[in-house]
Structure 1
Amino acid sequence: MNKILVTDGMEKNAINLLKNMGFDVEEKFYEEVELKDKIKEIDIIVVRSATKIRKNIIDEAIKTKRLKMIIRGGVGLDNIDVDFAKANGIQVRNTPMASTNAVAELVLCEMLVLARKVKIANIKLQNGIWDKKNLKGNEIMGKTLGLVGYGKIAKNIADKANKLGMNILYTDVQECIENKEGFKFTDLDEILRESDYITIHTPLTNDTRNLFDYDKFKIMKDTAFIINCARGGIIVEEDLLRAIDNNEIAGAALDCFEDEPMPMKELLINPKVSVTPHIGGSTIEAQTRIGNEIVNIIEEYLAKSMVKVL
């Protein structure tokens, strides 16, 4: 019987489907030291962002050669040493479509939170201050949205924002040939100069780590906002706070941080920074889709394995 370890949680119906398929499914989070031993006795591991599958973990799996697949419930794979796993015959899969709409809706939500000064209004009301006259916000209709990275999530956001009357700029390694809406492809500098809202949609790589530093923030409009629901580490957090404190930019919304689950306190308490604990894909609907996609991946793997045996 193939053994599956689910370390960071998974939708219950999907777990039951795997069990009904005959898999031995264990749901438990293991710290790194414990995981080094556990990884030797499982065939498939399903993780989200909390569990890190680095080279030292994969080295232990290689000793028994049982581990055949690592599945990331979500999009980003920066918590997995993908190349090393594949080089040692271990498949690495993710669920790129399942959380697309959920993340796009959160980004749109954060744009509205920033535009209407919702966090500042909440803080004032909680402190007994009715400050309606000083909470005049902005409408996003007619404003310019700049997308850094133009994958599935960014395209979803662009479509929603365009329908709400926003102008769309985007940058990526190359222009999107399927850009039927005619959104403007440009470079990062123009996005920094022209956008009222900038939202990040790149993986965390050597090229994107610390991409947004103080020099970048100084190029932005002093009325502009930046939103990161992609990965922590792309924004230099100290520089972000400095830019906000110096009125170089108007504010930010962050769903991911350099240090998770203990982000920099100064970010959390800043009234011009809207913060959430990496909940981009945390909707009931997205988790159901993620679970179903994981089951499909495992079914596909099982079918191919049976063909090889035959």
Structure 2
Amino acid sequence: MEPTTSYPKDKIKILFLENISDRAVKHFTQAGYANVKKLSGALSEEELIKEIKDVHLLGIRSKTQVTEKVLAAATKLQAIGAFCIGVNQINLKAATKTGITVFNAPYSNTRSVAELVIGASIMLIRRIPDKNKAAHEGIWMKDAKGSFELRGKTLGIIGYGNIGTQVSVLAEALGMKVLYYDVVTKLPLGNAEACKSLKDLVSQSDIVTLHVPETAQTRNMINKNNLKFFKKGSILLNYARGEVVDLDALRKFIVDGHISGAGIDVYPWEPEKNGDRFQTPLQDLPNVILTPHIGGSTEEAQQNIGVDVSNKLFQFLEMGITTGSHTVPELSLPPQEGTHRILHVHNNVPGVLSAINTQLSNHKINILGQYLKTNEDIGYVVLDVDKKLSKQAEKLLRDVKETIKVRLLY
């Protein structure tokens, strides 16, 4: 049988950081990629620069920062897999310029986060954190005052995306009324109702839960100016991004009694590793649940993420498929019988495809299949060419003006 890739599998170096699921490791080792290195923690920029020099595939989670300097040192890097929802930790602009494909797993841990949101809602509306603390201190607090059922209450969801919609379905199944607000028009699930403004939503909701990305527009979107519009006695949950809530302002509103409780899983600053000292303005407040960024940290979620991202990396490595990429344009294509496949990444300027075809036709190299996709910055061409001439074709394509990266795939 022919090798699946033109480059020997035992020479393809794969580096997985931050204790990525063993399912991801097995996916590659069982397919013959023996050179897989797995580390339990994140690496600093300096450490990663040293480690990444000869790496072809990199797998990370949320702690590892893939900076422009790291990417400049990664001379052989083909793809990065972010084994998590976000890609904020990767310099996508620099990765795009160097033709490095970046994948993530935007849907694999949504259920884990949604369940935790519902669980925290039950705990906080019953004021369980205070009763739990008292019981541990030997104090009996058998009291119904300020303790409520979720049924019949209103849940306000800010950000009606993958997680927000799952929270919506679970909440409605528990008998809650669901409101949502999103900057993009979204069709409701079940009986959920859209609100026209943030103020409209928070003023009606008994519990407000955030499920938005971290952008310039969402930074400190919950602050002293709009916390005053929250329904008195309501609860705030943030299992989204740490920069979305002004925690100092939230502390004041909890101390004043306007907000009756909060569940916070993400913070503007988080420790680098387990055991490090952690501080937040919300410590030592009543009816507040603080968790260490574990919204998606379940065995099931990590296994699902491991499978999802490793599949994307594997399909790119063996077939050039870029579905789900944040950098290189998305292409999904079947293998072509009796050909060799070449991947060509180039700056997106007029005339490159014409130059590619001219180069090959001038040397009588027959193109049996060709696929092109572009974004604002770069173009991605996949060519299936005659086996006998593939090496020559690869060399010719490297000489095409505006070329960023060329790889003979198989």
Return the TM-score normalized by structure 2. 0.71
Q: Is the 8 A contact 2:20 2:306 kept in 1?
A: yes
Aligned partner of 1:95 in structure 2 is 105
Aligned partner of 2:305 in structure 1 is 290
1:204 and 2:214 correspond: yes
Change (3 A) 1:220 1:155: same
Which residue, out of 289, 293, 299, partners 1:274? 289
Which residue, out of 246, 259, 268, partners 2:269? 259
Which residue, out of 169, 194, 202, partners 1:185? 194
Question: CA shift at 1:135, angstroms?
Answer: 5.6
Question: CA shift at 1:77, angstroms?
Answer: 1.5
Gaps of 5+ in 1: none
Question: CA shift at 1:119, angstroms?
Answer: 0.9
The number of aligned residues is 306
Equivalent residues in 2 for 1:235-246 (5 A)? Answer: 235-246=245-256
Separation (CA, whole Å) in 1 of partners of 2:56 and 2:267? 31
Q: Is the 8 A contact 1:98 1:286 kept in 2?
A: yes
SS of match in other structure, 2:208? strand
Separation (CA, whole Å) in 1 of partners of 2:264 and 2:36? 34
Question: CA shift at 1:266, angstroms?
Answer: 3.9
Q: Partner letter of residue 214 of structure 1?
A: K
* 284-293 or 77-86, larger mean C-alpha shift: 77-86
SS of match in other structure, 2:307? helix
Separation (CA, whole Å) in 1 of partners of 2:341 and 2:156? 47
Deviations 1:85-138 (A, max 9, x none): 122211111111210111110111111111111111111111111011266411
> Higher helix fraction: Structure 1 or Structure 2?
1
Q: Is the 8 A contact 1:39 1:60 kept in 2?
A: yes
Separation (CA, whole Å) in 1 of partners of 2:251 and 2:50? 41
Q: Which runs of 4+ in 1 moved over 3 A?
A: none
Question: CA shift at 1:253, angstroms?
Answer: 0.2
SS of match in other structure, 2:270? coil
Question: CA shift at 1:44, angstroms?
Answer: 1.4
Aligned partner of 2:56 in structure 1 is 43
Separation (CA, whole Å) in 2 of partners of 1:238 and 1:230? 18
Question: CA shift at 1:195, angstroms?
Answer: 0.8
Separation (CA, whole Å) in 1 of partners of 2:116 and 2:56? 35
Aligned partner of 2:175 in structure 1 is 165
Return the TM-score normalized by structure 1. 0.93
Q: Give identity over the alignment, percent.
A: 32
Question: CA shift at 1:34, angstroms?
Answer: 0.8
> Higher strand fraction: Structure 1 or Structure 2?
2
SS of match in other structure, 1:41? coil
Deviations 1:245-293 (A, max 9, x none): 1112111101111111254344233232101111111111111111111
Q: Partner letter of residue 181 of structure 1?
A: G
* 231-240 or 37-46, larger mean C-alpha shift: 37-46
Equivalent residues in 2 for 1:122-141 (5 A)? Answer: 122-133=132-143, 136-141=146-151
Change (3 A) 1:180 1:101: closer
Q: Is the 8 A contact 1:123 1:271 kept in 2?
A: no
Gaps of 5+ in 2: 1-10, 272-276, 321-339, 343-407
Aligned partner of 2:8 in structure 1 is none
* 153-162 or 179-188, larger mean C-alpha shift: 179-188
1:174 and 2:208 correspond: no
Separation (CA, whole Å) in 1 of partners of 2:309 and 2:56? 14
Deviations 1:177-202 (A, max 9, x none): 3x352421112111111111111111
Separation (CA, whole Å) in 2 of partners of 1:235 and 1:55? 28
Question: CA shift at 1:228, angstroms?
Answer: 0.7
Aligned partner of 2:315 in structure 1 is 300
Q: CA RMSD in A?
A: 1.7
Q: Is the 8 A contact 1:222 1:248 kept in 2?
A: yes
Q: Is the 8 A contact 2:248 2:281 kept in 1?
A: no
Separation (CA, whole Å) in 2 of partners of 1:268 and 1:25? 41
Q: Partner letter of residue 69 of structure 1?
A: A
1:25 and 2:36 correspond: yes
Question: CA shift at 1:84, angstroms?
Answer: 2.4
Q: Partner letter of residue 107 of structure 1?
A: V
Aligned partner of 2:229 in structure 1 is 219
Q: Is the 8 A contact 2:213 2:241 kept in 1?
A: yes
Change (3 A) 1:216 1:17: same
1:57 and 2:45 correspond: no
SS of match in other structure, 1:233? helix
